[in-house]
Amino acid sequence: METSALFLLLYVRPHSEEGLPMILSDHVVSLSRGSSIAKIIGKNVKASNRFDPVVNMWVYEEMIDGRKLTEIINTEHENVKYLPGHKLPKNVIAVPDVTEAVKGAKVLVFVIPHQFISKLCDQIKPHITEGTIGISLIKGIDEGPEGLKLISDIIREKLEIEVSVLMGANIASEVADEKFCETTIGAKNEANGHLFKELLQTPNFRITVVHESDTVELCGALKNIVAVGAGFCDGLGFGDNTKAAVIRLGLMEMVAFAKLFCKGQVSSSTFLESCGVADLITTCYGGRNRKVAEAFVTTSKSIAELEAEMLNGQKLQGPQTSAEVYKILQKRNMINKFPLFAAVYQICFEGKAVKEFITCLQNHPEHM
């Protein structure tokens, strides 16, 4: 198990032949979420006879007040930069070398910004052992030769392993505070889904396992675009009725996009899981995409400036995902069918006046 300066990675060695090791990876952008998950995993493996009780965490090495971040985590058991005030279990050990982290690991948990996943997979591929499985907590999509490319597909193809996904309404600080929340695991392999549920579920972190992995993953990416739109409305001074319209119309576009681009079945019931409407609501009211989008309106600063000022080095996923979605829709000549997604991209990257966002709501098609 190890850690590295750009990503946080957890690795649990097998306790017995039935036991499975695990890795969690995380980047500066998502270190708070990775540390929250590390806290859960550290506690769960100690209480289980299926896993070795030591969890290695791959962390991006940084100097904090003259000390290495990994040294601070290993002595004070706290990620003082990205999750201050929350103690990590003592069996979670930070290590700064990703290739060492994956040696012997059988379970990989990825929590990094999606734009870094391809390079990470190339780094660790030579060290992946046969029979390894993975789970992705990464909220984003990429562009492939045929249009949409899911992050789990990139991991699956590059590492040649089976990959599940976890998405849901779980803001990192609230998970770390052990406030009750739900989440969804999408697993094409049901046995793997239940293994990850055992590894991650707690009384206050309730997990449902569903088969529609692609739909679950797409929900996690697209809701960030809608949250940017919700932030625009807050910045413009519109009320809760307007934000409710953004959430409803955004959900309509999420469902329509999934039905167009997901390879497997897309059931409306999946959007009623935590990965769907619940994650959409919490992100539109409490997420960083909403917060920065509001400031984008009220300060007239760029998204990049606001990231630097407000996010402690972290990056927004909503604007980046809107750019990827826009390119995909453009290739299919379908931009007009997704006016909310298109407006978020045009406001963030093409200089469209933010006050025109309301027009996309007023003229939104009744049915999609």
The per-residue pLDDT for 18 is: 42
Residue 32 banded pLDDT, cuts 50, 70, 90: low
Please give the annotated binding residues for substrate, written as ranges: 139, 288-289
Tell which residue, 150, 124, 116, 366, has the closest CA to residue 249. 366
Binding-site entries for NAD(+) = 116, 172, 288, 315, 317
Q: What is the mean pLDDT of the chain?
A: 85
In whole angstroms, give the CA distance from residue 215 to residue 221.
10
CA atoms within a 13 Å half-sphere pointing along the CA-CB vector of 302: 7
The label of the residue with tokens 């006016």 reads 339
38 contact partners, CB below 8 Å, separation of at least 6:
8, 10, 24, 55, 57, 88, 92
- Other C-beta atoms closer than 10 Å to the C-beta of 182 total 17
Res 160 pLDDT > 90: yes
Q: What is the DSSP letter of 29?
A: G
Instruction: Encode burial over 210-238: b for 16+ CB neighbours within 10 A, e otherwise.
Output: bbbbbbbbbbbbbbbbbbbbbbbbbbeeb
Do 8-211 and 215-367 come out as alike in CATH topology? Answer: no
pLDDT band, residue 34 (cuts 50/70/90): confident
Distances (CA, A) of 84 to 10, 33, 127, 246: 19, 12, 32, 33
* C-alpha distances in Å from residue 312, one per residue of 35, 67, 220, 307: 16, 18, 22, 8
d(CA 280, CA 248): 10
Residue 349 pLDDT level (bands cut at 50, 70, 90): very high
What integer pLDDT is reported at residue 17 of this predicted model?
38
CA angle 337, 343, 348 (to 5 degrees): 145
DSSP letter for each residue of 82-127: TSTT-BPPTTEEEES-HHHHHTT-SEEEEES-GGGHHHHHHHHGGG
Active-site hit among 39, 149, 223, 243: 223
pLDDT tens digits, one per residue of 116-156? 889 889 999 999 988 899 999 988 888 776 678 899 999 99
Q: Where is the binding site, in residues? A: 116, 139, 172, 288-289, 315, 317
Please check whether residue 95 is in contact with residue 1, taking contact to mean a CB–CB distance below 8 angstroms: yes
Q: How many CB atoms lie within 10 A of CB 274?
A: 23
Q: Is the pLDDT of residue 82 over 90?
A: no
Confidence of residue 218 (pLDDT cuts 50, 70, 90): very high
In this predicted structure, what is the pLDDT of residue 146? 67
pLDDT for the residue 340: 98
pLDDT tens column, 94-120: 878 888 777 777 888 888 777 788 988
Residue 223 a catalytic site member: yes
Instruction: Pick 8-211's CATH classification: 1.10.287.110, 3.40.50.2300, 3.40.50.720, 3.30.2270.10.
Output: 3.40.50.720
Residue 37 has pLDDT above 90, yes or no: no
Distance CA 149, CA 10 (A): 26
3-state helix, strand, coil in the chain (%, to 5): 50, 20, 30
Report the alpha-carbon distance of residue 240 to residue 27 in Å, rounded.
34
- Residues 228-273: tens digit of each pLDDT: 999 999 999 999 999 999 999 999 999 999 999 887 789 999 999 9
Domain spans, the chain: 8-211, 215-367
Neighbours of 55 (CB within 10 A): 27
Q: What number does CATH give the domain 215-367? A: 1.10.1040.10
Q: How confident is the model at residue 16 (pLDDT cuts 50, 70, 90)?
A: very low
